[in-house]
Amino acid sequence: MKDWENSINVWTAKINIGDYLPGNLIKICEFANRLCFRPELSLSAFYTVVSSLVTVGSKIDALDSTEFDQTQGIYTAICAVPSQKKSLLINKIATQPLRELQRKASDDLAKEMQKYQAELDDWEDDKSLPMPEKPVMRRYYINNASQAGFRSLLNRHGKKGWGIIVISDELARSYKNNSKSYNSGLTENLLSYYDGHGKIELLKGDYDECLVSILGGIQPQVAAAYNNGTDDNGQWSRVNFINQPKSPFIIPDNPQGKLDITPLLTGFYEKISNLPKLKLRFTSEAEKYFALLNNDCEINRNQARTEALEAQWKKMPGKIARFSFLIHVVEQVSQGSSVAIFVNLDTLKKAATLAYFYFGEAQSLY
C-alpha cells in the first residue's frame, strides 16, 4: 500500500516524467531544461491546460459505495521568485498554443456570424421559421475578470460545454483582488468552481455546471504564509504547488536550434477540446486500491500538524481521481484511440504518485 508514497518530498524531488507525457509530448520538458527549469513545471502547466479543455460535466466515478466522483478543474501554482522568469514557461506551454486556438475560434465565429445574419434575415421575413441562435465566441483563457464578467462568461461557456483557464502572473494578488468590494464573493465562488458547480441565485445568468482551471505563479514566502496554517477557508488546499528553486539561466556556448513546440501543443489541445463529455470509472481492481488510498489520506489528515496540511490531505483523494482521469485521457488521445471508459490500476498508481509529489512540494514550503 505504501509503494505510492516513495516520492521524495523535498525541493529536488523528481517523478518519472515519461509516465505522464507519452510520445512527442515529452518535448515540452526539453523547453523547461533550456530555461534551466525543472521539467515538472512543464508537466504541471500542460496538465492544467488539458484539464480546462475537456467538456463541462466530464467526470470520473471513483467510489460507488459513496458515489464519490470528480470533475476536472485543476489549480496550479508555480512557486518561484519573480526574477526566475516563470512567465516564459507559462507563455510557451499555455498562452501561445491557446492563443492559436483563440485565433481559429475567432475565424470560425466570423463565418458563423455570416450564416447567422443570413438566417436572421430569413427569420425577419418569415417568423414561422425557427429563430436562429446567435453564435458565441469561445474563450480559451483569460487573465483577469470582475465577478460579474466571469459569471457571464461561465454562463455562456457552460451552455456550450466549454471550460476556461485563468492564467495569472501572481495568484496571491489575484485572490486578494477577488476579495475587494467590486469582486465580493469571487474568491468563495472559486471554491465552488473547483467542484464544477455554478452559482444558482436570484440573478441573471445562473448556471448549474462549469469548468475552471487556474495556472499562475506565487512567491515562496507568500505560499509558505498560507501553508503555515493561515489558509482559513482552505482555498489553497485546492492548489497544486510546484517549486522552482532560484537558479541562473545560463545560455551555453553552442546553444541548440529553435525548439517550436507550439504546433505540437496546439494540435493536442485541439484534440482534447473536441472530445465529447466523458464519464469514466475505475476498473474493479483500481477502485479497491483507490479505497485504500482514500483511507490512508484520512489517517494522514488526522495526524497533520497544521490546518493547512490537513486541508491538503482532505483534497488528496479528489486530486488523485482527477489526475487519473487526465492521465488516462492524455494517453488515449496520444495513441489516437477513442477514450475507453475504464481507468486501470496502473494509471491510478501514476496519479497517486503525482498527487503525493505535489503534497511534498507544498510541505517543503515550510
Highest mean pLDDT among 205-209, 233-237, 241-245: 241-245
**Residue 10, pLDDT score:** 38
Percentage of the chain beyond pLDDT 90 is 56
Q: Give the integer Cα–Cα distance in Å for 266 and 94.
A: 9
The region of weakest confidence among 33-37, 99-103, 327-331 is 33-37
The region of weakest confidence among 12-16, 234-238, 339-343, 354-358 is 12-16
Q: Which residue reads 516513495 in cell numbers?
A: 6
As assigned by CATH, the class of the 24-102+139-364 domain is alpha beta
**Residue 362, pLDDT score:** 85
DSSP state of 17: G
Q: Which helix (H) or strand (E) holds 154?
A: helix 147-160
Q: Identify the bridge partners of residue 343 per DSSP, sorted by sequence position.
A: 282
Q: Identify the bridge partners of residue 59 per DSSP, sorted by sequence position.
A: 279
Contact residues for 311 (Cβ-Cβ < 8 A; gap 6+): 231, 234, 236, 237
Strand order through the sheet with 59-63: 68-70, 59-63, 279-282, 342-343
**Residue 200, pLDDT score:** 47
Q: Give the integer Cα–Cα distance in Å for 3 and 160.
A: 41
Q: Which three cell numbers stand for residue 160?
A: 456550450
The region of weakest confidence among 63-72, 165-174, 286-295 is 165-174
**Residue 207, pLDDT score:** 59
Given a cut of 60, whether residue 11 has pLDDT beyond it is no
Q: What is the pLDDT of residues 197-213, one digit of tens each?
A: 655 443 445 557 899 99
Given a cut of 60, whether residue 111 has pLDDT beyond it is yes
Closest CA to 195 of 309, 74, 291, 295: 74
Q: Which three cell numbers stand for residue 94?
A: 499555455
Measure the N-to-C terminal CA separation of the chain; round to a whole number of Å.
27
Using alpha carbons, list the distances in angstroms from residue 235 to 23, 143, 289, 317: 35, 19, 28, 16
Q: Give the integer Cα–Cα distance in Å for 348 and 306.
A: 28
Strand order through the sheet with 141-142: 141-142, 164-168, 212-218, 75-79, 239-243
**Bigger pLDDT: 277 vs 199:** 277
**Residue 270, pLDDT score:** 98
Q: What is the pLDDT of residues 155-166, one digit of tens each?
A: 889 889 999 999
Q: What is the pLDDT of residues 284-298, one digit of tens each?
A: 999 999 999 999 999
Where helices occur in 126-146 by DSSP H, the ranges are: none
Q: Give the integer Cα–Cα distance in Å for 106 and 3.
A: 48
Sign of the CA dihedral with 114 first, then 115, 117, and 121 last = positive
Percentage of the chain beyond pLDDT 70 is 86
Q: Which helix (H) or strand (E) holds 161?
A: none
CB 286 within 8 A of CB 207: no
Q: Which three cell numbers stand for residue 249?
A: 539561466
Q: Give the integer Cα–Cα distance in Å for 25 and 328.
A: 14
